[in-house]
Amino acid sequence: MNPKILSKIKVADEVWLATALLHRENPSRSDFTLNEIVERAAKEGIIDERRPGVYVHAALHCVANRPPKPGRYRMLYETRPKHRRLFRLGDNYDPQREGSKITPEVDEIPRVYEYLLKWYEDWSRSQVEKAIQSDPLLALCGSGRELWADEHADEYVARLRAGWE
């Protein structure tokens, strides 16, 4: 028996793993088609049989910025019709998916894939940092903090307004 197979793995976790593998194998690509995700899951063979639920999870149940029907996971993000990438913190999402699962639990996936959870943390953080750096308004975040570093913000504003009439 293949040591990576876990017969009880959730379909959503299988979809996340397949998408994470696609990102790792294709670092220059920003998203993947639904069919690419389904085919990558089949190629990986995490489960002995090909499950029809993989497509439905990639299309609906795992997609953060779509209304839940009924799945509420926030594992994927729809970038354009029929294209997905992994969800990352800072992405907008349907409010009904608040508090739902973003990544698999380490004890619910085969050990051979545990490295993907650490990779995802680093990837997600770096993607958010790139987005902030490329947006001129977000890049200003925190600028000027040295102006009032030694006093409370309210005191700083009061001092600036002291001479106003």
| pLDDT for the residue numbered 1 | 37
pTM of the full structure: 0.76
Q: Which DSSP string corresponds to 29-65?
A: -S-EEHHHHHHHHHHHTSSSS--THHHHIIIIITBTT
Within the chain, residue ranges assigned H as helices are 11-25, 34-44, 53-56, 115-134, 136-139, 153-161
13-32, pLDDT tens digit by residue?
999 999 999 999 999 999 99
Q: What pairs with residue 80 in β-bridges? A: 83
How much is the pLDDT for 3?
A: 46
- pLDDT for 141-165, tens place per residue? 677 777 667 888 788 888 889 988 7
Are the C-beta atoms of residues 12 and 100 closer than 8 Å to each other? no
Nearest CA-CA partner of 63 in 29, 35, 97: 97
Both ends of the chain: CA-CA distance in Å?
82
